[in-house]
Amino acid sequence: MDLSGHLLLGLQTSMSPINLLYALMGCFLGTAIGVLPGLGPAATIAMLLPATFAMPPVTALIMLAGIFYGAQYGGSTTAILVNLPGETSSVVTALDGYQMARQGKAGRALAVAALSSFFAGTVCTLLIALFAPPLAEIALKFGPAEYFSLMALGLIASIVLAHGSILHALGMIILGLLLGLVGTDVNSGIQRYTFDLPELSDGIGFVIVAMGMFGIGEIVANLQHESTRDVSIKEVKGLWPTKEDFLRSIAPTLRGTALGSILGILPGGGAALASFGAYALEKKVSKNRHEFGKGAVEGVAAPEAANNAGAQMSFIPMLTLGIPANPVMALMIGAMIIQGVQPGPSVMTEQPELFWGLIVSMWVGNLMLLVLNLPLIGMWVKMITIPYRYLFPMIIVFCAIGVFSLNNAHFDVYLMALFGVVGYVFKKLDCEPAPLLLGFILGPMMEEFLRRALLLSKGDPLVLLTRPISAAMLALAVLLLGLVLFPAFLGTREEAFQEE
């Protein structure tokens, strides 16, 4: 079947009434989550994982994907209206978007953000459709050694591209790898790090860690910001850019889309790194650089295009290789495993409806978001005013019910609460939980692929270096580690994440 046939199959799948309904629910919920500061897509998807058990796999993934890119749209709303980004990737949007709002141009800023995001989403959906199949075909030729090296490269890249201290990111990766070892060893049957607790014999549940670290931990951390939220803009008018806004937005949107498409594939920062990089690039190349920080429309168009492009392109390594580029993709892989779908290149050949249905649903979802964001802006403004103290008890109860429903075990709820406390402590220590989750997901997979590689080579570890693709990826991983040690690179890295 050629590309047009695959896209037609995806269109039929994504346009079924049930999938359209859940795509709309995901987009609406994602936008709402992006609008409410402190509730990110990772926390929301973690909380909703138990609810996906009863859904068909493609329906569940379409809804979760809608939440992810919907949050990229919604995050810009609070960034522009109240200078409080709902998402990390919307931090730089606040710099010029909020200044435009203070000048009475809030509607124009929101429209530019929505239109540039829609353009980037449309382009990236096409890129995924074009490049995912050949990448999946290449991945089918990978052996255990290549997969192990690829995952090692992904973990090291996530350390380099993580926000904050590299040492913190390395520590979180190692902790995630150790947590992934808890449970019964599949080959020997020996229990590891269970402390003689029978509840840990099957390992720590992925949903428990995700919901504790991203759900409870983030919610508690955001309670301290409740008093700083001030909504002075009650009404937004003029929801359409002027001709000048359009003309000034075209080039930044194109550059942001291109940069986000490249950076979104890399493990680590993804959408956040893309938006910071796009803003820095526009400040250097724009003819209106003197307006940046004072309400430049380019400062809204470029990062919004970049973060949406970065978010959607992160689906490529997840769909083709089964490797998560960010915590949300790790959660998506968790959802696939829960549904009995083995992530990786075989999905495209064994379950084409799921693969192509998800890809086409991204464009459908972006169209829904364009329709949702502009006409319903009044509702989003009112939602920002809801006091967080009314929301967080309901969210915690929802988390507890979701975790308990997994195994009907009180121990899981206590464990989630423990990870919530740990997540909050890490937040206060400026340690991102994202590398931990990537390590937790990839650790057991790396161990399994390493064992297979050693079994096939009769215990010879040099198999990782004698296979060309594996050796090239390990060499690249060593090069990235070497870069980390150079002070000049550290300075460039810190500058990339600078919130000027």
Higher pLDDT, 248 or 289: 248
Residue 183: helix, strand or coil by DSSP?
strand
Q: Which residues contact 114 (CB under 8 A, 6 or more apart)?
A: 73, 76, 369, 370, 373, 374
pLDDT of residue 276: 77
499 — pLDDT class (breaks 50, 70, 90): very low
Full DSSP string of 315-330: HHHHHHHS--SSHHHH
Structure tokens at 483: 């870069």
Residue 301: helix, strand or coil by DSSP?
helix
Give the residues across from 184 on adjacent strands: 191
pLDDT of residue 500: 44
pLDDT in tens, 351-362: 888 888 988 898
486 — pLDDT class (breaks 50, 70, 90): low
pLDDT of residue 253: 92
Structure tokens at 214: 């991203």
At residue 88, does pLDDT exceed 70? no
439 — pLDDT class (breaks 50, 70, 90): confident
pLDDT of residue 234: 52
Mean pLDDT of 324-329: 76
200 — pLDDT class (breaks 50, 70, 90): confident
Residue 230: helix, strand or coil by DSSP?
coil
At residue 170, does pLDDT exceed 90? no
pLDDT in tens, 327-337: 778 788 888 88
| Closest to 252 (Cα-Cα) out of 272, 294, 281, 290 | 281
Structure tokens at 326: 């960010």
pLDDT in tens, 138-163: 777 778 888 888 888 878 877 766 66
Q: What does the alpha-carbon distance between residue 212 and residue 47 come to, in Å, rounded to a whole number?
A: 9
pLDDT of residue 494: 57
